[in-house]
Amino acid sequence: MTGAVTGRFAPTPSGRLHLGNLLCCLLAYLSARSRGGRFLLRIEDLDVPRCPQRLSDQCIEDLRFLGFDWDEAPLYQSTRTEIYQKYFDELSAMGLVYPCFCTRAQLHAAIAPNLGDREPVYSRACAGLTQAEITERQKTRSPAMRLRVPDEVFSFKDGHFGPVSENLARECGDYIIRRSDGLFGYQLAVVIDDALSGVNEIVRGRDILFSTPRQMHLQKTLGFDSPSYYHIPLLMDANGRRLAKRDRDLDLSALSKVMTPEQILGMLAYSAGVIPENRPASLEELIRAFDWKNVKRDDIRLAYNPQAAG
Ligand code: GLU
Residue at 1 is within a domain: no
- Specify whether 24 is located in the same domain as 69: yes
Distance from the CA of 44 to the center of ligand 1, in angstroms?
7
Distance from the CA of 196 to the center of ligand 1, in angstroms?
17
Q: What percent of the chain has pLDDT over 90?
A: 84
Give the pLDDT confidence of 60-71 residue by residue, as tens digits.
999 999 999 999
Measured from the CB, is residue 12 less than 6 Å from ligand 1?
Answer: yes
Is the Cβ–Cβ distance between 211 and 191 less than 8 Å?
no
DSSP string, 142-155: PPEEEE---S-EEE
Residue at 225 is within a domain: no
Ligand 1, atom 7: closest residue by C-alpha: 10
Measured from the CB, is residue 190 less than 6 Å from ligand 1?
Answer: yes
Residue 160 contacts by C-beta under 8 Å, 6 or more apart in sequence? 230, 231, 232, 292, 295, 297
When pLDDT is averaged across residues 173-183 and rounded to a whole number, the result is 96
Residue at 206 is within a domain: no
Q: Which of 166, 173, 187, 186 is nearest to 107 (CA)?
A: 173
**Of the residues 170, 186, 202, which one is the last residue of a structural domain?**
186
Output phi, psi for 166, to 5 deg: -150, 135
Confidence of residue 73 (pLDDT cuts 50, 70, 90): very high
Amino acid at 286: L
Q: At what angle do helices 19-33 and 261-272 cross, to 10 degrees?
A: 80
Measured from the CB, is residue 44 less than 6 Å from ligand 1?
Answer: yes
- Specify whether 87 is located in the same domain as 178: yes
When pLDDT is averaged across residues 219-233 and rounded to a whole number, the result is 98
Measured from the CB, is residue 251 less than 6 Å from ligand 1?
Answer: no
Give the pLDDT confidence of 10-44 residue by residue, as tens digits.
999 998 888 999 999 999 999 999 999 999 999 99
Q: Ligand 1, residues 14, 23, 25, 186: which to mutate, most atoms within 8 A of Cβ?
A: 186
When pLDDT is averaged across residues 111-132 and rounded to a whole number, the result is 79
Residue at 207 is within a domain: no
Confidence of residue 245 (pLDDT cuts 50, 70, 90): low
Q: 102 to each of 97, 141, 188, 238, how far by Cα in Å?
A: 15, 10, 21, 42
- Specify whether 73 is located in the same domain as 99: no
Question: Which atom of ligand 1 has the smallest separation from the CA of 24?
Answer: 8
Q: Ligand 1, residues 158, 208, 214, 245: which to mutate, most atoms within 8 A of Cβ?
A: 208
Cα 263 to Cα 269: distance, rounded to the nearest angstrom = 10
Confidence of residue 110 (pLDDT cuts 50, 70, 90): low
Confidence of residue 1 (pLDDT cuts 50, 70, 90): very low
Measured from the CB, is residue 11 less than 6 Å from ligand 1?
Answer: yes
Residue at 199 is within a domain: no
Instruction: Look up residue 169 and give its DSSP letter.
Output: I
- Specify whether 86 is located in the same domain as 18: no
**Of the residues 186, 220, 252, which one is the last residue of a structural domain?**
186
The alpha helices in the chain, defined as continuous H runs, are 19-33, 53-66, 81-93, 104-109, 131-138, 186-196, 212-222, 252-258, 261-272, 283-289, 306-309
Q: At what angle do helices 212-222 and 81-93 cross, to 10 degrees?
A: 80
As a residue count, the chain comes to: 310
Task: For residue 258, give the CATH number of its domain.
Answer: 3.40.50.620
- CB burial readout 205-225, b (16+ within 10 A) else e: beebbbbbbbbbbbbebeebe
Q: Structurally, how many domains does the chain consist of?
A: 2
- Containing structural domain, residue 95: 81-186
Measured from the CB, is residue 188 less than 6 Å from ligand 1?
Answer: no
Residue at 296 is within a domain: yes
Measured from the CB, is residue 208 less than 6 Å from ligand 1?
Answer: yes
Q: Is the pLDDT of residue 248 over 80?
A: no
- Specify whether 91 is located in the same domain as 155: yes
- Specify whether 66 is located in the same domain as 94: no
- Specify whether 109 is located in the same domain as 41: no
- Specify whether 51 is located in the same domain as 116: no
Task: For residue 151, give the CATH number of its domain.
Answer: 3.90.800.10
- Specify whether 33 is located in the same domain as 128: no
Residue 288 contacts by C-beta under 8 Å, 6 or more apart in sequence? 34
Flag the least confident range among 29-43, 108-122, 126-140, 170-184: 108-122
- Specify whether 62 is located in the same domain as 94: no
**Of the residues 167, 186, 205, which one is the last residue of a structural domain?**
186
Residue at 68 is within a domain: yes
Q: Which of 117, 116, 120 is nearest to 107 (CA)?
A: 120
Measured from the CB, is residue 194 less than 6 Å from ligand 1?
Answer: no
Residue at 125 is within a domain: yes
- Specify whether 283 is located in the same domain as 251: yes
- Specify whether 110 is located in the same domain as 180: yes
